[in-house]
Amino acid sequence: MGKIKCKAIKPDGSQCNVWAMRGKEYCYFCNPEIPDEVKFKARGLGGARSGKNPVDVDLKILKLKKPEDIIGLLEETINLIRTGRMDTQTGNSIAYCSNHLIKTFEITDLEIRMKELEENLKNKG
């Protein structure tokens, strides 16, 4: 079986005329056996067309200096996941990092209190 041209007819009535896939009657993009999603992905339109971008909004750089800032971050993340504008993998990463930040805040807070206690004890002794 030699090389043949794609037998698909384009919307304007002309033949596709692209070389058909090996052993097939259609070219890659006309082949009805290949789902559209796969074709769009191959064209580099997968993300935009199927809404599979990891994050579908412009996220701002946040200053995360205190526990209250983490509450805002988590609130935003939860709402983006709930409304389908952020994938769960990105959400999980944010939750993971937030956890570390919260622990760091806790340790920092404890260290400050310890120093205060030590100072108080010194002054009394």
Name the site residues for Zn ion (rule: CB under 5 A).
Answer: 6, 8, 16, 18, 27, 30
Tokens 């200096």: give the residue.
Answer: 65
Cα 14–chain centre separation: 40
Q: Which two tokens stand for residue 11?
A: 């919307």
Cβ–Cβ under 8 Å, residues 85 and 108 = no
What is the rounded CA–CA span in Å between residue 51 and residue 37? 11
**Burial label, 6 (beta-carbon count in 10 A; 0-12, 13-18, 19+):** buried
Nearest to 82 by CA among 60, 47, 57, 49: 57
